[in-house]
Amino acid sequence: DPGGATMRGITLSTYRAFKNSPNLSTTDLKGISDADISDIYRRQYWDPCGCSALCAGLDLAVFNFAVNAGVRRCALILQHVAGVPTDGTIGVHTVSAANSTSGMVDKFLDETEKYYRALPIFGTFGSGWINRVETVRSIAKNMGS
């Protein structure tokens, strides 16, 4: 993984910053608590992406991509697909446009797949990324039904 040691989508550097403890080890990361994972997910990905205000299914797709690729990159893709100015911050205009765009889950996930395919390390990690996109697509579309 190019992000280094990772546990359930959380890198060691993210965990160190969250705990304000630069000396945490990969062993510490392996023992991360469910409560810390939940808190990191909520504070660093779910809330900054406005997932609570997004339609069911789109919230999952956006959250998943933010954890994997970062909030700013996720915001830029969501804004591009929703047809709003791309400033990298998900606010009320982005949420409103995303929630009112037909087929948004597919459109967003299609763009995330394009992003992954363009990465130079796609040959190494691509099949896992694409499998995850398709799994999220299936779950998200069932949520939005």
Question: Could you give the CA distance from residue 126 to residue 50 in angstroms, rounded to a whole number?
Answer: 27
Q: What pTM was computed for the model?
A: 0.93
- Reading the block at residue 30, the tokens are 């392996």
Predicted local confidence at residue 144, as pLDDT: 67
What are 102-131's pLDDT values in tens digits?
Answer: 999 999 999 999 999 999 999 999 999 999
Helix axes 92-100, 71-82, angle to 10 degrees: 50
Mean pLDDT value across residues 33-37: 97
Q: Around Cβ 47, how many Cβ atoms within 10 Å?
A: 12
CA atoms within 13 A on the CB side of 28: 14
Question: Could you give the CA distance from residue 29 to residue 33 in angstroms, rounded to a whole number?
Answer: 9
What are 41-92's pLDDT values in tens digits?
Answer: 999 999 999 999 999 999 999 999 999 999 999 999 999 999 999 999 999 9
User: What Cα–Cα distance (Å) separates residue 31 from each residue in 3, 5, 15, 68?
Assistant: 18, 13, 11, 20
Q: Are 105 and 141 in contact (CB under 8 A)?
A: yes
Enumerate the β-bridge partners of residue 10: 7
Q: Are 31 and 17 in contact (CB under 8 A)?
A: no
